[in-house]
Amino acid sequence: MKYVTLIILFIIISSCQQKTQTNVNSFKKGKFKTILEDSKTVSFATRNDSLQFETFNNKVDTFKINWINSFEYVLVKNNPKILLDSTPFYVKITSIKGNSYDFTAHYKGSNFKQKGTAFKLE
């Protein structure tokens, strides 16, 4: 009976251990595939400490990236051609699942909102 109790106790304790969680800081650098929720639009990005290079429709744009905290960052296009391109684009990570995160995003001062998922490729 003593061994059965120990085995049950061991099973309970081991089942209560937290599963390994992805570190949110691992999303600050790397290669990503982003899919927008509404339009199923796909883009690819490579991100380092201060820049994000994004490819959409065979066109590459460069953005300065500024992390506000571990879950929020701001993108500003490096060489804006129109006013909208120079408007800061705020991104907030809303949930993390393995090697991906869901986000909401908006332009500063705008009611325009986007939702999507970014998958870390590397």
Q: 36-85, pLDDT tens digit by residue?
A: 998 889 999 999 989 999 999 999 999 999 999 999 999 999 988 888 88
CATH pick for 29-120 out of 1.10.1040.10, 3.40.190.10, 2.102.10.10, 2.40.128.20 = 2.40.128.20
Domain coordinates in residue numbering, the chain: 29-120
Q: 84-110, pLDDT tens digit by residue?
A: 889 999 999 999 999 999 999 999 999
Report the DSSP beta bridge partners of residue 59: 56
The answer to whether the pTM exceeds 0.75 is yes
Q: Indicate the pairing of strand 42-47 with strand 51-56.
A: antiparallel
Whole-angstrom distance, CA of residue 122 vs CA of residue 119: 9
